[in-house]
Structure 1
Amino acid sequence: MEKENVPQHDPNLSKKDLKELVYATDENGNYTTALSTGWEPKAIALSNAIDDIKERAEEAKLKVKRGEVSPICYYMELHKMDLSILAGYVEMWKWRVKRHFKPAVFAKLSDKTLQKYATAFDISLAELKNFKTD
């Protein structure tokens, strides 16, 4: 793509005065860098991904309300994490983290273990223990 044709579309990035560094060719055909605020297909893909994340978080919230999963599952989705990422943050095996999704197991976790999750989610221990679904 030529430098003068670098897309400048995405309103999501331009609102925050953020620009993305991309490679383009200059008038001599040499590769150079240019700043872009994005392009429409990328904006659509990003919007769809964000909508999907919000939907998964709401679904997890309903499961917490029904007693099917623990608040850990909800906060994991809310903070755009997956099982591997969360396990890394709390320094536990994935199978242990997955086990903590069970409400009965979650209820028996020590404050020390819960604090690891609270720190990973940037919330207080009280918020994690007293999760409100309202």
Structure 2
Amino acid sequence: MEKDKVPQDQSNLTKNNVKELLYATDENGNYTTTLSTGWEPKTIALSNSIDEINERIADAKQQVLNGEASPIVYFMEINKMDLTILSSYVGFWKWRVKRHFKPSVFATLSDKILQKYADAFEVSINELKNSITK
């Protein structure tokens, strides 16, 4: 793509004045770098991804409020983690973290275990236990 034809479409990146570095050809046909604010297909894909993440967060919050899941599920979604990533952050086997997703099991966790989750989510134990019900 020629440098002067690099897309400069409005995107979620432009809200924060972020530009992406791309390779393009200059007037002599040599490769060079240039900045782009975005292009429509990427903007659509990014927007769809953000919408999906927001839906997952809302679903997780509702599960916690309904007593179907522990707050760990909600904070995991807020922090864009999956079971494998969270397991590595807290240092527990995946099956054990999954077990902590149950509200009845979560209610019996010690402060030592809760602190590991709180550290992973960068919240206090009190926020981990109570912030969703407010």
User: TM-score, normalised on structure 2?
Assistant: 0.92
Deviation of 1:81 after TM superposition, in Å, equals 1.2
Please list, as runs of the form range in 1=range in 2, the aligned pairs for 1:21-100 lying within 5 A after superposition. 21-100=21-100
Deviations 1:99-134 (A, max 9, x none): 110111111111111111111112111011224335
Partner SS, residue 33 of structure 2:
strand
Task: Tell me how far 1:30 sits from its aligned partner.
Answer: 2.1
Residue in structure 1 matched with residue 112 of structure 2 by the alignment: 112
Moved more, 48-57 or 23-32: 23-32
How far residue 29 of structure 1 moved from its aligned partner, in angstroms, is 2.0
- Give the superposed CA RMSD: 1.4
CA distance in 2, matches of 1:95, 1:37: 43
Identity %: 68
Structure 1: runs of 5 or more not aligned: none
Amino acid at match of 1:21: L
Q: Return the alpha-carbon distance in structure 2 between the equivalents of residues 49 and 38 of structure 1.
A: 16
SS of the equivalent of 2:35 reads strand
The equivalent of 1:121 in structure 2 is 121
CA contact (8 A) 2:57 2:77 kept: yes
- Deviation of residue 49 (structure 1)? 0.7
Shift of residue 9 of structure 1? Answer: 1.1
Structure 2 counterpart of 1:9, one-letter code: D
Residue 101 (1) aligns with residue 130 (2): no
Q: TM-score, normalised by structure 1?
A: 0.92
| Per-residue deviation, 1:25 | 1.5
Alignment-mate amino acid for residue 62 of structure 2: L
Do the aligned residues in 1 keep the contact of 2:70 with 2:106 (CA within 8 Å)? Answer: yes
What residue identity is the alignment partner of 1:28? N
Contact 1:61–1:133 (Cα < 8 Å) also in 2: no
Contact 1:64 1:71 in 2 (8 A): yes
